[in-house]
Structure 1
Amino acid sequence: MRRRTALKVPFLLAGGVSIIPTPRAAAAGRGPWSADRAQSWYRAQRRPLGVNYIPSNAINQLEMFQPDTYSPQRIHAELAMAGRMGLNTVRVFLHDLLWTQDRHGFTRRLMQFVSIAASHAIKPLFVFFDSCWDPHPRLGPQHAPVPGVHNSGWVQSPGADRLGDPRYVSVLNEYVTGVLNQFRNDDRVLGWDLWNEPDNPASTYRAVERRDKADLVAALLPQVFQWARAVDPVQPLTSGVWQGSWADPRHRSEIAGIQLDNSDVVSFHSYAKPADFEGRIAELAPLQRPILCTEYLARSLGSSVEEILPIAKRHDVGAYNWGLVAGKTQTYLPWDSWDRPQPEPPRVWFSDLLRLDGRAYQDGEIAAIRRLSPLARAR
């Protein structure tokens, strides 16, 4: 996704009990796993190789999981394609409004999704919150894709209308802990990505973005780690860094510091060329924790399957490209299609691996995935 500072703003629960922001470096209470525990967990997994997944008939997280548009048969078919090419994990975005809409129905659908994924030997990495794209999510029918525009319907969680509402903090807490408690001992789930690019200002929506968003997120993010940590799941927690410098703690942004200091497993995003991608791994390696690249693949920018995956394998880094089947998100279009819509698919796709009919966009990419998959020897 396209990406692109920070005070001490207290939040109040509905009953008037304050949640005072903890020091930004680490959330209060139970701390992150030790590096040894994280490495032991990683050794027990197959190296994660996957995609950021949304069904081709869904424009965003809401359409993926709302009861009227949830499509288990399509999910089954598309994850079967992923499994056949050697993928063993998918990164999947959730949304707080799905919890408020119908928590019991939502968790049933989540349980079914996990079962479908497991039938294809795929473990989900679930994402709770997201600071990218439209800051005004709405339940119900979602709009049609904007012709020629990359990711024209993706929505933030929580949205701008609820991010600064002190009465809603308890709902967010219930959402995180409710979902986590459902799966806290379930080894079919790989892990929990608590917040996608929390410091992304969603510049595409600058006219309607909150000016105090970064301050509010910086106050809330340590609390989200604290809520999740209190559940004590068997799966690790993470939140991926994506911009700035990470090697020296003194030079990290405030939010990047929160992410790295509280994550059990380190994760990052890079849509850069291979040398820069490898440099990002080098920045994070001194933390001595397992590393996941939870977003890559921007072909026109030099981030390709054939060049990125060998680097990830050499460094034992998990990797998730953006997109499986090209569909309503239209992420085969480049980011700049927001400024210059492209009515026809480009000759060089930006992201996504498969066409709607299941054929590969590039056969060589699928061959590379199969060759570099941790499942290759098992075949």
Structure 2
Amino acid sequence: MKKNDLSRCGKSTLRVFWMVVLMAAIWLPHATGQQQARARWTEKQAASWYAQQRWLVGANFLPSTAINQLEMFRPESFDTATISREFAYAHSLGMNTMRVYLHDLLYLYDREGFFKRLDIVLGLAEKQGIRLLLTIFDSCWDPYPRWGTQPAPRPHVHNSGWVQSPGVQALKDTAGYGRLETYVKDLLRRFGKDKRVLAWDVWNEPDNRNIPSYDQLELPDKTVYVLPLLKKVFEWARAVHPSQPLTSGIWAGSNWSEAHLRPIDKLQLEQSDIITFHSYDQPELFEKKIRWLQRFNRPIICTEYMARPNGSTFESFLPIAKKYRVGMINWGFVAGKSQTIYAWDSWTKTYDAEPELWFHDIFRTDGTPYRNAEVDFIRKMTGH
């Protein structure tokens, strides 16, 4: 073989080598399950998903026998009889979705058991024609969650035992975020294509400072930690390619025009596949918030409302929401250990008996409605 032939042969071999390297770079990530994270849904994708849904109506759900997310799912206190019965109450109102909170400590201390019990809860909901909106992280109430037996309720105090996830110690330990990443990705690998899951609320009220209940225990610069971590949580979730939409609801303030949005509001709105929000306001402001959010041209769900003394009621809010086809998930369902029949001011004001006007919740533990006219109205609105 001539020298020129050898040279041409060498160049040809080199081209083949680099072609193999290039193909491997393209193919290998897909073969190993490390494909590029899915993008945020387009407006068209979000609208297509929403067009397949009935009008979404439901409640934030915690069984009446649990004081918080940990007690709901811990093996010693997992109460399928109560969960099943209370999902049936929801079905009786024509509700089709319930928002359920999870916790990173459930995964840390009992991964297999937690997943098994979550699967059971999803099955119990499905029997009643209900899908769950699962909330992964939450910045509300006690910033120091503890594994083990959960405390008894403080008498007459609203949400006296609810705990944050991640807690303050995990939040400030930036070097330990790998544990949280593993939790999010493993959770969505397991349930990210489960048709019983309506959507994922990746973080509830992430910058809430919990004034006056726990403000003295909070990180003084909480948002400095939460803002970048929230962005990471969206990235971790999308890396697993869930089929359900991701969201994090804006909640603070009374003006959501562009000029008044805070950096964390903008992040939530820019990262969410569908728009979610909270409103415990008067009906006029509730409707104004819907109109502000319509500019994003995405499905809208109100994932928290209904505080009777505030004027946020089923009678005042549901007709407005139905007019705009906004999904509605009220706070509180069956009065129990969370004690949310008492108002937020129970942290500073002493109550010694059941309030005449309940703050949240619809049913007593035996299924008796707090107000018969109220449940009749909900059934009328849902067509049940």
Match of 1:224 in 2: 233
Separation of aligned partners in 1, 2:61 and 2:254: 28
**What 5-or-longer segments of structure 1 have no aligned partner?**
1-27
Q: Residues 248 and 307 from structure 1, CA distance in 2 versus in 1: closer, same or farther, beyond 3 angstroms?
A: closer
Report the CA distance between 1:245 and its aligned residue.
Answer: 5.9
Tell me whether 1:251 sits opposite 2:277 in the alignment: no
Tell me whether 1:299 sits opposite 2:315 in the alignment: no
Match of 2:150 in 1: 142
2:37 and 2:241 in contact (8 A); partners too: no
2:137 and 2:202 in contact (8 A); partners too: yes
Separation of aligned partners in 1, 2:259 and 2:39: 21
Match of 2:141 in 1: 133
Code of the aligned partner of 2:376: A
Report the CA distance between 1:166 and its aligned residue.
Answer: 2.6
Higher helix share: 2
2:135 and 2:200 in contact (8 A); partners too: yes
Report the CA distance between 1:29 and its aligned residue.
Answer: 5.7
Percent of aligned pairs with the same residue? 49
Code of the aligned partner of 2:223: A
**What 5-or-longer segments of structure 2 have no aligned partner?**
1-35
Tell me whether 1:320 sits opposite 2:358 in the alignment: no
Separation of aligned partners in 2, 1:245 and 1:173: 33
1:240 and 1:259 in contact (8 A); partners too: yes
Report the CA distance between 1:177 and its aligned residue.
Answer: 1.0
Would you say how many aligned residue pairs link Structure 1 and Structure 2?
A: 348
Tell me whether 1:54 sits opposite 2:57 in the alignment: no
Deviations 1:78-127 (A, max 9, x none): 10111111100000000000000111110010111101100000000000
Q: Which residue of 137, 156, 180 maps to 1:172? A: 180
1:246 and 1:284 in contact (8 A); partners too: no
Separation of aligned partners in 2, 1:344 and 1:86: 31
Deviations 1:292-324 (A, max 9, x none): 000001001111111111111111000011111
The residue correspondences of 1:204-283 to structure 2 (distance < 5 A) are 204-244=213-253, 247-283=256-292
The alignment partner of 2:177 has SS state of helix
Q: CA RMSD of the aligned region, Å?
A: 1.3
Code of the aligned partner of 1:31: A
Match of 1:336 in 2: 345
Separation of aligned partners in 1, 2:354 and 2:149: 26
Higher relative contact order (CA closer than 8 Å, sequence separation 6+): 1
The alignment partner of 1:112 has SS state of helix
2:254 and 2:285 in contact (8 A); partners too: no
Separation of aligned partners in 2, 1:276 and 1:99: 39
Separation of aligned partners in 2, 1:184 and 1:132: 25
Please give the TM-score of this superposition, normalised by the length of structure 1.
0.90
1:31 and 1:262 in contact (8 A); partners too: no
The alignment partner of 2:304 has SS state of strand
Separation of aligned partners in 2, 1:77 and 1:248: 42
The alignment partner of 2:134 has SS state of strand
Separation of aligned partners in 1, 2:243 and 2:374: 33
The residue correspondences of 1:44-193 to structure 2 (distance < 5 A) are 44-193=52-201
Separation of aligned partners in 1, 2:162 and 2:39: 32
Code of the aligned partner of 2:205: E
Report the CA distance between 1:246 and its aligned residue.
Answer: 6.1
Separation of aligned partners in 1, 2:173 and 2:59: 33
The alignment partner of 1:145 has SS state of coil
Match of 1:12 in 2: none
Q: Residues 147 and 247 from structure 1, CA distance in 2 versus in 1: closer, same or farther, beyond 3 angstroms?
A: closer
Separation of aligned partners in 2, 1:216 and 1:101: 24
1:58 and 1:64 in contact (8 A); partners too: yes
Code of the aligned partner of 1:164: K
The alignment partner of 1:284 has SS state of helix
1:162 and 1:168 in contact (8 A); partners too: yes
Please give the TM-score of this superposition, normalised by the length of structure 2.
0.89
Code of the aligned partner of 1:192: W
Match of 2:31 in 1: none
Deviations 1:174-229 (A, max 9, x none): 11111111112211110000000011111221111111211000110000000011
